[in-house]
Amino acid sequence: MAAAAGGAARGRGATSFQRKAAAGSRLATVAGTRPSVRHGQLLLSSGLPSLDCVLGGGIAVGTLLLIEEDKYGFYSSLLFKYFLAEGVVCGHDLFVASAKEHPDSILKELPAPLLDEQRNELGEEATAVKSEDFQDSMKIAWRYQNLPKMEASPTTSTKFGHYYDLSKTMSPELFQPIKWHSFYLPEELSLQPTVKTRSMNSAYGRLLLSIQRIISQEGFDGSDPQKKQKNILRIGIQSLGSLLWGDDICCSDTPEDIHSLTKFLYVLRGLLRKSLSACVITIPAHLIENKAIMERVTNLSDTVVGLESFIGSERETNPLYKDYHGLVHVRRIPQLNSLICDVSDMKDLAFRLKRKLFTIERLHLPPDLSDTVSRTSKQELAGSAKLLSSGCGAMAIGKKHLDF
């Protein structure tokens, strides 16, 4: 049956978007990828193992991950750089598109990978602390002693994805073997003053043409049989839809051209589906006035993750959130080749930026250690916290509602 499916898929002109059984073992040899257990699609690491775990193992090849930027774009740019840095470490090709920062400077600021020994040091410290904890046996509540330790951050068991040190930038030697392409909108505009784009914002049209050219020239096209070694193209597009891209959806409630962005995403998804590539787009969702556009954009993307930072909000000083820097909303998980999607059972997620690491963790409230009776206010706060961090695709409407 698998052979029949493979033959059939190849006969159709073979998108890369197919099961691993059909693609054969030659695809599995690409560095930095692994096949998904559930749907057999090749997965890439997003560069942040805890995010991979939330997204059902990683980003599937041929799909699009949309990151809704936080208010100041600070944390979303970290995720963006993690994605690119992981590509450098795995030896993938990169395509970086931006209208604000020059792609060269983005690439210069990629975080340095934590090598295994450094990682072990960090890990040893942690385990040392853990064992210390473990040694003093509990005087009271002793029956909880044998319970397994709760893992705060979701981790993957196998070696897939790397950790990065945000305090250092990646050394230029690592870049040497990497092939990368950049798309800097102001440069492109001056190079080719006229490009024929049909009923689409010209910046988006240029970007599509540029991606398509690279996919077909550099051999990422899944439909032609290639003799040389296959590789993955990682496409990163920064702040798509912002004013700098010449799109007015951020500055007006009734923009002139509301279809450019959605058309762009549709064509881009078509390109990704037939090539060995994966794309991460950050989008300033909070600036887009017309929420209908955001709904359509969400429907047209495969995976959507929203970041909500506490910077500038009252939650920055809220004691409930003192351990975290913001919330993560998983808005959409793709259903690939199966009826069900890999929904993780954790819905309340938060992120935290440590000195060197950025992690996504399960949101939990701190223990209530105060002597005074202030439970009521805490519960209110907790209630509001629950409302704010509702899960994927399901919004808590109110306390009154009871499904069963």
Which window, 12-20, 78-86, 96-104, 376-384, contacts other proteins (CB under 8 A)?
12-20
Which member of 320, 341, 381, 388 binds other proteins (CB under 8 A)? 341
What is the spatial distance between Cα 375 and Cα 388, in angstroms, rounded to a whole number?
20
By C-beta, is 123 or 393 nearer to other proteins?
393
Q: How far is the CB of 270 from other proteins (least distance, A)?
A: 4
Among residues 22 and 281, whose Cβ is nearest to other proteins? 22
Place of tokens 């105060």: 370
> Which residue's CB is nearer to other proteins, number 2 or number 128?
2
Contacting other proteins within 317-336 (CB under 8 A): 335-336
Nearer of residues 178 and 258 to other proteins, judged by Cβ: 258
For the beta sheet containing 180-184, the strands, ordered from the edge strand earlier in sequence to the opposite edge, are: 180-184, 93-98, 233-237, 277-283, 64-68, 303-309, 326-332, 349-353, 358-362
- Stretches 1-9, 47-55, 174-182, 365-373: which one binds other proteins (CB under 8 A)? 1-9
The torsion defined by the Cα of 211, 217, 218 and 223, in degrees rounded to 10, comes to 90
| Nearer to other proteins among residue 156 and residue 212 (C-beta) | 212
Q: Of 107 and 249, which CB lies nearer to other proteins in the complex structure?
A: 249
Burial of 277 (0-12, 13-18, 19+ CB in 10 A): buried
Describe the crossing of helices 260-273 and 202-217 by its angle, rounded to 10 degrees.
10
CB 56 within 8 A of CB 341: yes
Using rule CB under 8 A, residue 269 touches other proteins: yes
Which of the residues 361 through 390 are near other proteins (CB under 8 A)? 390
Q: How far is CA 54 from CA 40, 46, 246, 377, in A?
A: 18, 11, 34, 31
Report which DSSP code applies to 98. Answer: E
Residues that bind other proteins (CB under 8 A): 1, 3-15, 17-19, 22, 39, 198-199, 208-209, 212, 223, 225, 259, 262-263, 266-267, 269-271, 273-274, 290-292, 295-296, 299-300, 335-341, 343, 345, 347, 390-397, 401-404
